[in-house]
A and B are shown apart, each in its own frame.
Chain A
Amino acid sequence: MEIPRHWRLKQQRYSLVGEVCPHCGNKIFPPRDVCPNCGDEAKELYTFSGKGEVYSYTTIYEAPSGYDANAPYTVAIVKLQEGPMITAQLTDLGDQPVQIGMPVEMVTRKMRNDGDERGLIVYGYKFRPASLDRV
């Protein structure tokens, strides 16, 4: 499958590397080369803390191929502490009900495989409930 596409996103997938706008200080994730706040060019890298809170969430029962073996799973829009929103799966939930405003933190997890035993496994960020001793 698409090895170069996943490889070139490794900084974002594994360590939430986005950008900070040198003109207005806006923090940007996912990276984009024009700052959505001031419209100037933004290419300075910035690593996010991975802390945030749930802005909205839902459960997927009818999943796309490559993900259907893991269904049902919970997806969310997470508002990062530094400002931007990010779309991600929630993980390690146990019996804990998800709520809007729930504090979460980024972890690295297996995202999908292409169904072939010799195929690529894609790893990336998910978010788990932030436990008090880790906050």
Chain B
Amino acid sequence: MTDVVIAGIGQTEVGEHWKLSLRELAFDAIQEAVKDSGGLKPQALFVGNMLAPNISNQAHLGALIADYAGLAGIEAMTLEAAGASGGAALRQGYLAIASGMVDVALVIGVEKFTDKIGPDVEAALATTSDSDFEAVQGMTPTAQAALIMRRYMYEYQVPSDGFAGFALTAHANGANNKYAMFQKAIKLETYNKAEMVSEPLNMFDIAPNADGAAALVLTRRELLPTNFAHPLVKISGSASASDTLALHDRKDILYFDTAQLSANKVMKQAGITLDQINFFEYHDMFSIFAALQLEAIGFAIKGQGWKLAADHEIALKGKIPCATMGGLKARGFPGGATGVYQAVEAATQLRGQAGANQIAGAKYGLIQSLGGPASTAISHVFERL
């Protein structure tokens, strides 16, 4: 099959962009990605977004953003899979290019949390869980994660600071990412002193909601201009899997089936094994999610994922570097843009442009985007050619 390559990347700073609207954020990232691609002309636009119909009272983002970016006329639509919306948009872009139906695709993830604040944001986020049987009980995604983490710590006898390594690694890496929301390393004492949000989750176990937009230009290798300016990165695997929305409907709330299913598929497509993966961009919306992803994919056995973080094995020089540009915890959680940020960061690593956080000689990066507690997991393998 023909190679689907990353021709251009772009991102805005992640944070509270009170002055910028959804469409302006999206355009900033699009402009940067198109410029980075050497001016390729997109034929299709796939938007990853999670909450705009609720938070900004704005649906129909495909046409809105295409028009605002001066691209009216092209195919344009939104992909929604909760926190995995960005991964879904990337996969749709990949399928469009791989099929040969589209020559140049623009993938944009955009989220604008700060159009609402406080309880209204919690209510919007709660719509991603089972509305009839979870959200009606006053449940939130944070509480879902706390329920998983409490049971995990009980079953595996994890000490109270057992998950600290995830936040410490993320913040250390975010310190060297100028797009990250938090660019400051933290100490173990800071983690241990942090306020509880939903026991046993403290504020450093939770990624911050933030505004942001990231974009990719995808094309087939043979369509690149001969003077293409960057090292080549291709998408060697793309897969998605689904599970129950509600935790109570799972056979085992301590195992992310979809993380395992989609990761296995992409590794098979790329023809690689676990030990060939140079870094992993996981979806550390909550520290417990990072641990369960590491276990499901096979980097750790069940119940031991937290130890990889505690033993510094996920640091830049560890066995499997994770969240290399800060992850969701330090770069921030810009909702449906998150999966596209992960892709931009992985492409940056594989191009050798990650600065102080560069993984030397990186050839394969695995990225995984989760919706809810892995109710959706979308995985991709990026490869440096």
Residues of A within 8 A of B (CB): 5, 9, 12, 30, 32, 36, 55-68, 70, 73, 75-77, 84-89, 100, 111-112, 122, 124, 126
Q: A30-B132, A66-B123 are in contact. Are A60 and B138 (CB under 8 A)?
A: yes
The docked-state distance in angstroms from the alpha carbon of A54 to that of B258 is 26
Please name all residues of chain B whose beta carbon is closer than 8 Å to the beta carbon of A61 when the two chains form the complex.
197-198
The docked-state distance in angstroms from the alpha carbon of A111 to that of B199 is 22
Asked if B133 and A62 make an inter-chain contact with CB atoms under 8 angstroms apart, the answer reads: no
Asked if A58 and B150 make an inter-chain contact with CB atoms under 8 angstroms apart, the answer reads: yes
Check: B126 CB closer than 8 A to any chain A CB. yes
The segment from B62-70, B76-84, B140-148, B277-285 that touches chain A is: B140-148
Chain B residue at minimal CB-CB distance from A86 = B248
Which 8 pairs, one residue from A and one from B, show the smallest C-beta to C-beta distance? A58-B146, A64-B123, A85-B248, A67-B138, A65-B119, A64-B122, A56-B151, A56-B147
Residues of B within 8 A of A (CB): 118-120, 122-123, 125-126, 130, 132-140, 142-143, 146-148, 150-151, 154, 197-201, 246-251, 253
The docked-state distance in angstroms from the alpha carbon of A67 to that of B122 is 10
Asked if A59 and B147 make an inter-chain contact with CB atoms under 8 angstroms apart, the answer reads: no
A to B CB contacts below 8 Å, 26 in the list = A36-B249, A57-B147, A58-B147, A58-B199, A58-B200, A58-B201, A62-B119, A62-B142, A64-B119, A64-B135, A64-B140, A66-B138, A75-B138, A75-B143, A76-B147, A77-B147, A77-B253, A84-B248, A87-B137, A87-B246, A88-B137, A100-B150, A100-B154, A111-B136, A111-B137, A111-B138
B133 to chain A: closest CB distance in Å? 5
Please name all residues of chain A whose beta carbon is closer than 8 Å to the beta carbon of B123 when the two chains form the complex.
64-66
Asked if B132 and A75 make an inter-chain contact with CB atoms under 8 angstroms apart, the answer reads: no
B350 to chain A: closest CB distance in Å? 38
The docked-state distance in angstroms from the alpha carbon of A64 to that of B127 is 10
Q: A9-B132, A56-B151 are in contact. Are A89 and B120 (CB under 8 A)?
A: no
Please name all residues of chain B whose beta carbon is closer than 8 Å to the beta carbon of A86 when the two chains form the complex.
133, 248
Dominant secondary structure at the A interface: strand
Among A62, A65, A75, A84, the residue within 8 A (CB) of B147 is: A75
Asked if B126 and A64 make an inter-chain contact with CB atoms under 8 angstroms apart, the answer reads: yes
Please name all residues of chain A whose beta carbon is closer than 8 Å to the beta carbon of B150 when the two chains form the complex.
56-58, 100
Asked if B138 and A64 make an inter-chain contact with CB atoms under 8 angstroms apart, the answer reads: yes
The docked-state distance in angstroms from the alpha carbon of A89 to that of B143 is 11
The docked-state distance in angstroms from the alpha carbon of A130 to that of B253 is 25
Q: A76-B147, A89-B137 are in contact. Are A68 and B199 (CB under 8 A)?
A: no
The docked-state distance in angstroms from the alpha carbon of A112 to that of B123 is 13
The docked-state distance in angstroms from the alpha carbon of A99 to that of B200 is 13
Asked if A112 and B119 make an inter-chain contact with CB atoms under 8 angstroms apart, the answer reads: no
The docked-state distance in angstroms from the alpha carbon of A67 to that of B199 is 19
B113 to chain A: closest CB distance in Å? 14
Please name all residues of chain A whose beta carbon is closer than 8 Å to the beta carbon of B251 when the two chains form the complex.
36
Please name all residues of chain A whose beta carbon is closer than 8 Å to the beta carbon of B120 when the two chains form the complex.
65
**In the complex, which of the residues A63, A100, A124 has the most CB atoms of chain B within 10 Å of its own CB atom?**
A63
A7 to chain B: closest CB distance in Å? 12
The docked-state distance in angstroms from the alpha carbon of A98 to that of B251 is 23
Please name all residues of chain A whose beta carbon is closer than 8 Å to the beta carbon of B154 when the two chains form the complex.
56, 100
Please name all residues of chain A whose beta carbon is closer than 8 Å to the beta carbon of B197 when the two chains form the complex.
61-62
B362 to chain A: closest CB distance in Å? 38
Asked if A68 and B119 make an inter-chain contact with CB atoms under 8 angstroms apart, the answer reads: yes
B157 to chain A: closest CB distance in Å? 13
